[in-house]
Chains A and B, each alone.
Chain A
Amino acid sequence: MKSLADTKPIPGTIIFDGDQAIKGYQLNKMCFSFNKAENRDAFKADEDAYCVKYGLTDEQRAAVKKRDVLALLNLGGNIYYLAKLTGMFGLNMQDIGAQQAGVSLEEFKAKLLAAGETKNG
């Protein structure tokens, strides 16, 4: 997009722009379906068959299998939609925050608490 043309990448950050939205459309569409309990049940019954039904790419299917949030983001997933997927694996926003930051949940929480105690968190 032209409005992003002269921007420098933000370290550790993926902007969910048009390119990402195109790449992740089917993946996000699948995740949107998880608002409904019957679809969550169908996914749990046969994860990969559900992914195939939604037309996920091989890479996306592998990343779903690995519960790899960073890979899914790179493959076009949007974090709000991915939260509906990872929620089924018992992972909340702090769990996946820690996973993406590459630290333990305790370390992730401690970093946030520390930000609350400093002047420039």
Chain B
Amino acid sequence: MESGIFHTTYNKDMALRRTPIMRWRIILAVIFLVILPFVSNGYSLTLANQIGIAAIAAIGLNILTGFTGQISLGTGGFMAIGAYTSGILAAYMGIPWWLTIPFACVVTAVVGSIFGIPSLRLKGLYLAIATLAAQEIIQWAIVRSPLGTDALVVPPIKIFGTSLTKLRIAGFGGIDFWFYWIIFLSLGGVILFTVNLFRTKVGRAFIAIRDQDIAAEVMGVNLFRYKLLSFATSSLVIGLGGAILAQYRGIVNYERFTIEASIFYLAVIIIGGLGSVSGSVYGAIFMVLIPAILNNIGRALGSTAPEIARLVPFARQAVFGLTIILFLVFEPEGLAKIWRDIKDYFRLWPFSY
């Protein structure tokens, strides 16, 4: 019976996975993710891929908002930069799709840091409005540019001369199947990068700025430099999400990157847990699956109780809003905290105090 987790060396205390259970959980999750695409249909793969992309962008936003304490309403705009850069490079310059993605990340990082400049002077609500301006400026620029009239068609991805939609190996294939691997390998990379980022000097500086910026400055953290760095890192990851989305859906349209997308990602990290990488993933799962589940409940009711089913679309909006309010009231630290509480309960059972 364990009475707590004790570390006897600094190395152990600093380890990424501090207990054997954590290691097992990760192995199980990886096994599940590897098996999943082989046993699921197109619908579940679409949901999984939407979750993966949402999780990437949510982690990006969490670096900025959750870890550095700089609120941002510009996620949709930054994703659009990533998506359009990747799309334009592939469609008009003939650059291979896999090369367009890192390009798009860098471009988004640069644009993100430009819009991050006001963050030195602005905090809280004022910064929210400044990033909202970023969202609107980017959207305005896209709509008014020659790209605004028609959607940008991204050429289909070819591997060894075969289109990815047609490519099948041992009966498994289709665009959703192949992109599942691209998305989840990227997500894995992003998670590893972010978790490790907060074990470095840079990451600690971000957290210091979040907790008390004046104290951080007194300790020698260059506020301007690290805030910009946070904007750049965050935009880099968000741009990755946008670029993958563009390649995956094969078409880029501004309607996907409006202010609603920005609010969606803010909701993801609030529900999942601000300042938590795993929370961003839980939040993405929650926010993508809830509407899908409500839709399917509506369908199931449709045959037995059509009168109730007719109300489901309206109820869905209400349930969505209600969930967010309840989270804010009862668990402001989000799903990540709930998960931690559950673990603590079982670890200390039956002698919890």
A and B held together in a complex = no
